[in-house]
Amino acid sequence: RASLPLERWEDEARERLTKAVLSAMSKQAALDAEVEEAKALVPPACTPEAVFASLDRARKGYISVADARSLLEDFGGAVSTSEFSAIVREVRLQWSWDDPAASTLLIQERLSLRDVGLLLCPAGSQERAAVREAKSDDELRSALYLLRNSEPCPTCTARVQRDADAAGCPTVTCPICRTAFRCFCVVGDPRGGWDSSAPPLSTAGRFQVSRLLGTFARIAGDAERERKKLSLLASYDSCGLADVFNSLAGAQVGFSLADLRRAFLQHGLPLTERELGLLGQRYGPSRGGGVSMSDFRRQLQPTAAWLTASTSMSMPIS
């Protein structure tokens, strides 16, 4: 049989790889949907600060594998060191990689408050956006406090509290744009505090958090196995992945969710709008805009394939 012309062979190989990559992305979306279902069962009182304080009983400033293991063992579960490492890696893939310190944080086998926030906060929530935008745990504490204990100005969105001396009158004036509006957040009457004053988690809350951790550990392992399976395909390397990226982005520097939706339809792969939104949360930068090549590669290559390059960008962490 006559061999295929080189150009046609390359086109067919690119199509096969594109479909395999889209299939892997679809599986990522399904795994993320499973995590969101587990998050929905966690009681509202289990805030990131409360969960962090409950697990970090020694006040080390981070959660170790021993802390996570202690929680899971209370409810008949278990987590190995490798499973905890997988949790850390998968959570860090959800970081805003606008932060240059994120690549350094990938190699630390511990969970910060920001990591716990990504584990707990539902996709698309204001709290999750605050987690991704925060550059330190202290900055996140401030952001979460303001979200719970202030209201946004309807004109400029600046966060505003009402002075306790004006408790009888709900009308306030925004100090930024001078818009008058009704505000029901009174200074000194917090709806949620810092982690040092957070009440202990209930037994039901601890159980659901342990369940979420167990679910996330399993899903983190599944996600990494999918990346490794994808890496075994012929032509799958940085160049091959770049070809798939270019087919999605066209002449642009990044691709949008609309581009991704169109690609799934063209290749006959089912994807719900919810799953598409979860892929946007996973791949998209917190600053908005299209998915870049670095965002794309980071989510699809096995951790070992790009860890060395990422750690070369390391910076001191405050």
pLDDT, tens digit (0-9, with 9 covering 90-100), for 7-23: 665 677 778 888 999 99
- CA dist., res. 175 & res. 177, Å (int): 6
Report the share of the chain in percent with pLDDT over 70: 79
Beta strands at 180-182 and 171-173: parallel, antiparallel or unpaired: antiparallel
Q: Do you know the residue count of the chain?
A: 318
| Closest residue by Cα to residue 151 from 113, 179, 122 | 179
Average pLDDT over residues 25-49: 95
Per-residue pLDDT tens digits for 43-82: 999 999 999 999 998 999 999 999 999 999 999 999 999 9
Higher-confidence residue of 29 and 233: namely 29
CA distances in angstroms from 205 to 39, 64, 212, 294, listed in the order given: 11, 20, 11, 37
Band (pLDDT 50/70/90 cuts) for residue 236 is: low
Higher-confidence residue of 241 and 84: namely 84
Per-residue pLDDT tens digits for 106-152: 556 899 999 999 999 999 899 999 998 888 899 999 999 888 888 88
| Closest residue by Cα to residue 91 from 212, 251, 228, 268 | 212
Band (pLDDT 50/70/90 cuts) for residue 161 is: confident
- CA dist., res. 162 & res. 169, Å (int): 9
- Hunting for tokens 């794309």 — which residue is that? 296
- CA dist., res. 90 & res. 303, Å (int): 9
Beta strands at 180-182 and 151-152: parallel, antiparallel or unpaired: unpaired
Average pLDDT over residues 258-285: 91
* Most confident residue range from 154-163, 258-267, 276-285, 292-301: 258-267
CA distances in angstroms from 287 to 95, 132, 133, 255, 281, listed in the order given: 12, 9, 8, 15, 11
Least confidently predicted of 177-181, 193-197, 238-242, 296-300: 193-197
Q: Which residues contact 293 (CB under 8 A, 6 or more apart)?
A: 242, 245, 254
